[in-house]
Amino acid sequence: MIDALNRALRKVPTWPLYLAALLPPAWYFYAAVTGRLGIDPVKAMEHKIGLLGLQILIASLCVTPLRKYLGLNLLKFRRALGLIAFFYIALHLLVWIVLDVQIPSQIIADIYKRPYITIGMAGFALMIPLAATSYNAAIRKLGKNWRRLHKLVYPAVLLGGVHFVMLRKGWQIEPLAYLLIAVLVLLVRFPRKVPQKRFRMS
């Protein structure tokens, strides 16, 4: 079953993912303009797009465990998922800057004074070099350093989860669930090795 699915997935191109990624933000923008996102459509759009980014980022980190434990090979889609996650998070930030706060001095003040914004910006900053080196020429040029650099995604997803928890203010179930899922995915990616005991022959 898994082998048949893997063979089918090998025939699926990655470019439709990039096109499909444009649909949710376009819908949220339309919904905001037409009054379908409540009394504060900008905030609603900002939060929904940011949550999408966190969801896709976590999904990209699930690729390796799915292959390791279930045999499901989604490696060809991992780069696309990572770039789409970065796109959503960048768009989330853009909505906050352009449509929400708008005042440059206030934006800078918020980054320094509000911890959840500081943490969110730190997570986004970690993702910039990942997106900037997600093409074949950079992979070849960086060699082994490319894998080391892309481990920045681990603290980035944790910072994203913490940002979500702090944004909601208080211990709410949904953001805590996302943070817990992010932690569990990272733990599954790096299972603890149990040292084997050596027995001496008497």
In a domain, 68, yes or no: yes
pLDDT for 201 beyond 50: no
In a domain, 195, yes or no: no
pTM of the model: 0.90
- Reported as a single tens digit per residue, the pLDDT across 123-135 is 999 999 999 999 8
In a domain, 201, yes or no: no
In a domain, 200, yes or no: no
- Reported as a single tens digit per residue, the pLDDT across 138-193 is 888 888 898 889 999 999 999 999 999 999 877 889 999 999 999 999 998 876 55
User: Look-up: residue for tokens 């649909």?
Assistant: 23
For the segment 29-38, the average pLDDT, to the nearest whole number, is 92
Better-scored residue on pLDDT, 168 or 54: 54
In a domain, 39, yes or no: yes
Residue 45: give the domain boundaries: 2-189
Q: How many domains does the chain contain in total?
A: 1
- Interior/surface letters 9-41, b for 16+ CB within 10 angstroms, e for the rest: eeeeeeeebeeebeeebeebbebbeeeebeeeb
In a domain, 198, yes or no: no
Q: Which two tokens stand for residue 164?
A: 């979500």
In a domain, 199, yes or no: no
SS3 per residue for the chain = CHHHHHHHHHCCCCHHHHHHCCHHHHHHHHHHHCCCCCCCHHHHHHHHHHHHHHHHHHHHHCHHHHHHHHCCCCHHHHHHHHHHHHHHHHHHHHHHHHHHHCCHHHHHHHHHHCHHHHHHHHHHHHHHHHHHCCCHHHHHHHCHHHHHHHHHHHHHHHHHHHHHHHHHCCCCHHHHHHHHHHHHHHHHHCCCCCCCCCCCCC
In a domain, 82, yes or no: yes
